[in-house]
Amino acid sequence: MPTPGGLHAHVLDTLGQRIVDGTLAPGTVLRPDDVVDEFGVSRSVVREALRVLQSLGLVEPRQRVGTQVQPSTRWELLAPSVIRWRGSSGAYFTQQRELLELRLGIEPVAAWLTAGHGGAAADAVLSAAEDMVTAVAAGDGRAYLDADVRFHRALLTGSGNSVFAHFAGTVEALLRTRTSESRDTITGWTAEAAARHQAVGRAVVGREAQLASDATADLVRTTRDEFVAEAR
């Protein structure tokens, strides 16, 4: 039998995915008794799942109405859970484009700052990029993804900007949505993409701030353009 935590996660993920997919349309009232009956869980499990959905902006309790599903304009679009649900929905390519455009405004600045700091943070960026190159040569997509996540986390946290560091969780969630997306041929990781990451890493380690920023902008812009072309 699943643990209480497992039951909570199952109810939360199922309801969250239904809302993001549009199966539960905005304005739909979620009745706890119906959720209890469907999933065979306790009311406390349902309350906790609804509480988390409310914190993410997906539902809102209304007096004399009940817990109503909210439109996407209310969602916490940078929350990893929402990113994961959107990544499994028809909004996959839209989300990739939107967040890549946001990253285009953040990561080049983070690279500039990280290059200025140098040291272990810069070394971590280059090390992750070189692991990506190695993973491409070995045809190991899992190792590539893990190194890609480490690369962007190191780039953002190495900036010394706590807001950028917080954004690393958003970027990781976005990257990880690509692993199961059958429509996305970009999940066939390429040597060219790894080389672009390596160019950033070398500039950061060399403390060439402007070059690091420019190389990061090229990296993110190229990826954005690939997704735009893929969505057509």
The band of 5, judged by pLDDT with boundaries at 50, 70 and 90, is low
Q: Say if residue 157's pLDDT is above 50.
A: yes
pLDDT digits (tens, 9 = 90+) for 199-225: 999 999 999 999 999 999 999 999 999
Judge if 210 and 127 occupy the same domain. Answer: yes
The CATH number given to whatever domain includes residue 59 is 1.10.10.10
Residue with tokens 């429509």: 183
Predicted confidence (pLDDT) at residue 183 exceeds the cutoff of 80: no
Considering the domain architecture, whether residues 109 and 67 belong to the same structural domain is answered as: no
CA distances (Å), origin 153, targets 129, 156, 198: 12, 5, 15
Does residue 50 sit in the same domain as residue 105?
A: no
159, pLDDT greater than 90: yes
> What is this structure's pTM?
0.88
Q: Both 178 and 69 in a single domain?
A: no
- Tell me which residue range forms the domain holding 140: 91-231
* Mean residue pLDDT across the chain: 92
Are 169 and 124 found together in one domain? yes
Q: What CATH number did the domain enclosing 100 receive? A: 1.20.120.530
